[in-house]
Amino acid sequence: MFDKLFNKFSNDTKEEIKLDENKMPQHIAIIMDGNGRWAQKRDLPRVAGHKRGMEVVKDITKTASGLGVKVLTLYAFSTENWKRPKKEVNFLMDLPVKFFDTFVPELIENNIKVNVMGYTEYLPEKTQKAVNDAIEQTKNNTGMILNFALNYGSRAEIITAVKKIALDVKNQKLAVDEIDEDVISKSLMTQSVAPYNDPELLIRTSGEERISNFLLWQLAYSELVFSDKFWPEYKPSDLIEDINKYQHRDRRFGGVKEGK
């Protein structure tokens, strides 16, 4: 199964990478950076990069699903992205519509379920409708969860969680002493992909080495892999390469390995 999959995508690799099936990250998160720069380098408008980036989302989604990943979280639009030119924001708000018009049948074929986390109530009506339709049409799928972070920001997420916990204390549903990692984890937006709340692997494309307000709590012990590729040129073989890097990291969670 793995070999077949690999061969399917290996036409763009130089050397063959063997992934360890027993060390697959169950939850991968990706910051899909470099769309605008990819386009500008080619004298194209920035939105051409976003459009191409959406096609890459489709490819990488199918690859991750084929590899047995349980949750793929993609940072599509941050709470800061509203500062971009109005034309660009409008174009971005149309992408979920275009995405679902062309991709829902393939999501169903591949048993992939769509989830969205973020402050979606502030998105244009048509965007909300596209998102809700896709969630509805894939709700019975039992395979990988394709989790879009849309109008998401991690500090905002933490503020919302703190307010909710404070209210529970005020209403005597929760004692202050009961507040622990589990209570906080369950109050964050990633509770919608439980039990895979925390990604084991974060990938950021385009050479930037920052977290940029993405999953601040959830990334506490994640492996971070930074790829120099711009998102529109990110290939299934790049994902395999980055998972391979993850598989060669020594994960200790603050402890040490026994016998060392």
Question: Nearest 5°: CA angle at 53, between 52 and 59?
Answer: 95
Residue 19 or 32 having the CB closest to ligand V07: 32
Listing DSSP states for 72-129 in one string gives EEEEEEETTGGGS-HHHHHHHHHHHHHHHHHHHHHHHHTT-EEEEES-GGGS-HHHHH
For residues 190-249, which are near ligand V07 according to CB under 6 A?
Answer: 231
Strand partners, 114: 146
Strands 201-204 and 27-31, sheet pairing? parallel
Residue 6 or 231 having the CB closest to ligand V07: 231
Question: Nearest 5°: CA angle at 96, between 95 and 97?
Answer: 85
x/- string (CB under 6 A) for ligand V07, residues 170-189?
--------------------
Q: Taking CB under 6 A as the rule, does residue 161 contact ligand V07?
A: no
x/- string (CB under 6 A) for ligand V07, residues 4-33?
----------------------------x-
Determine whether 133 is an active site residue. no
Catalytic site residue from 3, 7, 22, 81:
81
What whole-number distance in Å separates Cα of residue 169 and Cα of residue 189?
Answer: 20
What whole-number distance in Å separates Cα of residue 136 and Cα of residue 229?
Answer: 34
For residues 88-147, which are near ligand V07 according to CB under 6 A?
Answer: 92, 95-96, 99, 114, 116, 131, 134
Q: Taking CB under 6 A as the rule, does residue 57 contact ligand V07?
A: yes
Determine whether 81 is an active site residue. yes
- Binding-site size for ligand V07 (CB under 6 A) equals 19
Q: Which residue is nearest to ligand V07 (CB)?
A: 53
Number of H helices, E strands in the chain: 8, 6
Catalytic site residue from 33, 198, 238, 242:
33
Structure token digits, residue 26: 């169950």
List residues with catalytic annotation.
33, 81
Q: Which residues bind ligand V07 (CB under 6 A)?
A: 32, 35, 50, 53-54, 57, 76-77, 92, 95-96, 99, 114, 116, 131, 134, 148, 150, 231
